[in-house]
Structure 1
Amino acid sequence: MPPPLNPPSCHSPDPEPNPKPHSNPPDSPSPSSNPDPNPSEPDDDMSKATKAFNKVMKLEKDGSNWSTWDYDAKDPLTKASLEKRLFSLTCTNPAKAGKHLDNLIAIMDELAEHGVSIPDSQFKLAIISSTPDVYQATIKALITVYREEPNKLTPEMLITAVHAETSSSNKSQESANYCNDNF
């Protein structure tokens, strides 16, 4: 006679066909026996991160709190960087001279906001040395007029003269283009 397909077990006379798992397996610790007295749940970590992020100051559109982010810091490096830009900018394209002068004025304004005062004599040198060569004749004429009293020649006067010269150059160029188009 052939042996039975499922031999009886010696341990249990009637083995359960679908055994139920233990509620607490012997190898896993029960929740009450967790060795960490302050368990860190992922949700807790996220809420801590969210709370920390909510405390971060947001940049105002008007720039009023930008110095908090060192974006507009009033430290010596920023001041030095602004001064370097003021004296290193140059413009070689006469068509962009007006924008260049506006940049110089903006840098001077930033320096003033940072408590740095550049003397007019230095600002005049920055204007004179950085303006395109085509405007040097106008600048030399102003310097000659004010040779006896150079302090009366202000940066504003230089800027106005160059702006006026750029306007007349642009009008002359437009006129020349108009003439060239019609012939």
Structure 2
Amino acid sequence: MLRVPVAADRPALHAMWADPRVMAELGPVKDAAASDAALAKHEGYRHEGLGFFTVARKADGAVIGFCGLKRGDPPHPIDGEVEAGWMIAPAYWRQGYALEAMRAVFDWGWATFDMPRIVAITSARNSASQPVMRRLGMVRLADGDFEHAGFSADDPLRHIVTYAIERPR
């Protein structure tokens, strides 16, 4: 189940951002203050109706992830496009939760917004998220590779690939 994050979700979300396994392909781990800043940044996308959601397990309401849609950030090639993203707590990896959550996000996005496509980016080495992107029907863009300005020149996370899915007809 997806819901707008509430204060009670913060400890579980903080734990994900602080977990080196979760952040291995996303960037540096975050302390509580940096996690709160990330939540605030994502809340800022709600002014145009976009935003990220807490992923809660239907059976018991456990917070297992964070996903949604936002605007791509400058100065990258996806600047201004609708960008999908997600993270799932390690205890719930490879159980279909990311795929289920993102399918719901895509359905919501197509029904709510008039955009030609949704994009997603990840590090070129991220062998876990790229198969999820393909299973969502996304295709790697031949001209979508770029160097992410948020990472140093020697950081392997700097090398980014872009996937996209066109609006269903």
Larger of the two Rg values belongs to structure = 1
Q: Which has the higher helix share?
A: 1
TM-score by length of 1: 0.25
- TM-score normalised according to structure 2 size: 0.26
Return the structure number with greater relative CO, CA threshold 8 A, min gap 6.
2
| Structure with greater strand share of residues | 2
